[in-house]
C-alpha cells in the first residue's frame, strides 16, 4: 500500500493527510471548496509532523481515488453529499480498495446504498479529533460490508499506530460519540437547571473523572475504585445509588434559550483566551500524555 486518497480536506481531512504523510504514504487530496489546497498545505505544516510522503491535490474526486490503495472520505455529515461522493468513488476506485468514511454518526449501510458496483468495501473509519494525535478509530461495517474490507481497514489503521475498535452492530453515533452524548446530555441539563455553570462542569470533568478516563476506560476505572473487591464490589454497593442517579438525570431539549446559555457560558469561560494558542497547548499536552501512557504501558 503506497497511496491514500483523502476526500474532503477540512479539519479532519487535513489531520488525516498529515498522519498519512508522516507514515510515508503519498496522499492525493481533493476538496471543492475555494482555496482548499492552500489551507490543506498550511494545516498539514501546522501539525509539526515530518511529512515523508508526497502530497498532491486534484479537483476531481474520481481522479483522486483512481490510483489510491485506500480512501479516507471526510465530506460533510449529510447523506446526500455522501451519496454523490460514494457513487463517484465506487465507479473510479479499484474494486479491492476500501472506501472508509470519517462520518461521526451516519450508518455505513446508508452510505453504501450509493455504490452499485462494490458496496462490500464501504465502511466507517471514524477517528477522534485530531486524528494525527488521538489513537482511536471506530471501524464500523455495514450490512453489505465484506470481512476482507474490515480486516484490511483494521490492519491499515493499526499500522498507523492507531487503536482501532470494531463495532459488531452499526448504530447512529457509533460508540465513543454516544458515550460523549450521554455526558453532554446531563451536562446541558445541569446548566439548564442552574445547578452549575459551564465553567464549573468543565472544571469538574477536566480535574476529576476526565483525568482517570484519559488513562483507563470507565469499566477499568470502576474496577480499580472497588479496591480488592474490584468492580463486583462497586456494583454491589454503588449499583442501587447509581440507578437512582440515572432516574434523576435530565432530559433536556436544545432550545434556543439553552443553546444561548451554553454559548454564553463558554464565551465567559474562555474570555481573553486565544483559541489557536489553546489548541496548540492542548495538542502539546496530548503528545505528552500519549508518551507518558506508552512509557507506563497503559492502554
Burial class (CB within 10 angstroms; exposed 0-12, middle 13-18, buried 19+) of 53: middle
What whole-number percentage of the chain has pLDDT above 70? 100
Paired with 140 in beta bridges are 124
User: Residue 129's pLDDT is what?
Assistant: 95
pLDDT digits 0-9 by tens, 231-288: 999 999 999 999 999 999 999 999 999 999 999 999 999 999 999 999 999 999 999 9
* Cell output for 213: 478516563
By three-state DSSP, how is residue 26 classified?
strand
Q: Which residues make beta-bridge pairs with 122?
A: 99
* Integer Cα distance of 166 and 158 in angstroms: 12
SS3 267: helix
CATH numbers and ranges of domains, the chain: 3-166 (3.40.50.720), 176-295 (1.10.1040.10)
What helix, strand, coil percent values describe the chain, rounded to 5? Answer: 55, 10, 35
| Nearest to 32, CA basis, from 5, 58, 4 | 58
pLDDT score recorded for residue 228: 96
Q: What is the pLDDT of residues 4-59, one digit of tens each?
A: 999 999 999 999 999 999 999 999 999 999 999 999 999 999 999 999 999 999 99
Q: Are 99 and 121 in contact (CB under 8 A)?
A: yes
Locate cell 494525535: which residue? 133
Residues 4, 150: Cα–Cα separation, whole Å: 17
Closest by CA to 29, choosing from 91, 73, 92, is 73
Instruction: Spell out the long-range contacts of 266-275 with Cβ–Cβ below 8 A and sequence spacing 24 or more.
Output: 266/198, 268/197, 268/198, 268/199, 269/197, 269/198, 269/199, 269/202
pLDDT band at 194 (very low <50, low <70, confident <90, very high): very high
**Strands of 163-166's sheet in order across:** 55-57, 26-30, 3-7, 70-73, 99-101, 122-127, 136-141, 163-166
Q: How many CB atoms are closer than 10 A to CB 51?
A: 19
Is the bond preceding residue 130 a cis peptide, omega within 30 degrees?
A: yes
141 near 149, Cβ under 8 Å?
Answer: yes
Over range 103-118, report the average pLDDT.
Answer: 98
Tell me what the pLDDT averaged over the chain comes to.
97
Amino acid at each position: 500500500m503506497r497511496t491514500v486518497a483523502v476526500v474532503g480536506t477540512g479539519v479532519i481531512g487535513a489531520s488525516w493527510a498529515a498522519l498519512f504523510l508522516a507514515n510515508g504514504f503519498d496522499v492525493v487530496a481533493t476538496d471543492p471548496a475555494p482555496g482548499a489546497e492552500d489551507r490543506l498545505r498550511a494545516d498539514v505544516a501546522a501539525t509539526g509532523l515530518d511529512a515523508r510522503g508526497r502530497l498532491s491535490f486534484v479537483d476531481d474526486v474520481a481522479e483522486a481515488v483512481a490510483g489510491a490503495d485506500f480512501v479516507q472520505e471526510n465530506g460533510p455529515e449529510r447523506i446526500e453529499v455522501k451519496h454523490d461522493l460514494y457513487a463517484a468513488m465506487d465507479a473510479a476506485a479499484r474494486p479491492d480498495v476500501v472506501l472508509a468514511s470519517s462520518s461521526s454518526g451516519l450508518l455505513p449501510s446508508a452510505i453504501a446504498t450509493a455504490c452499485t458496483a462494490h458496496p462490500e468495501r464501504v465502511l466507517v473509519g471514524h477517528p477522534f479529533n485530531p486524528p494525527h494525535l488521538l489513537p482511536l478509530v471506530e471501524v464500523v461495517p455495514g450490512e453489505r460490508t465484506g470481512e476482507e474490507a474490515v480486516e484490511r481497514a483494521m490492519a491499515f489503521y493499526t499500522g498507523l499506530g492507531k487503536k482501532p475498535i470494531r463495532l459488531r452492530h452499526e448504530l447512529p453515533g457509533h460508540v465513543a460519540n454516544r458515550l460523549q452524548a450521554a455526558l453532554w446530555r446531563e451536562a446541558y441539563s445541569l446548566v439548564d437547571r442552574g445547578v452549575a455553570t459551564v465553567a464549573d462542569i468543565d472544571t469538574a470533568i477536566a480535574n476529576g473523572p476526565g483525568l482517570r478516563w484519559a488513562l483507563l476506560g470507565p469499566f477499568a476505572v470502576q474496577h480499580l475504585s472497588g479496591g480488592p473487591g474490584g468492580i463486583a464490589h462497586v456494583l454491589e454497593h454503588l449499583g442501587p445509588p447509581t440507578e437512582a442517579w440515572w432516574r434523576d438525570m435530565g432530559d433536556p431539549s436544545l432550545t434556543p434559550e439553552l443553546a444561548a446559555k451554553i454559548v454564553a457560558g463558554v464565551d465567559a469561560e474562555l474570555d481573553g483566551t486565544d483559541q489557536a494558542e489553546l489548541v496548540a497547548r492542548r495538542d502539546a499536552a496530548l503528545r505528552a500524555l500519549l508518551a507518558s501512557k506508552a512509557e507506563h504501558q497503559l492502554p
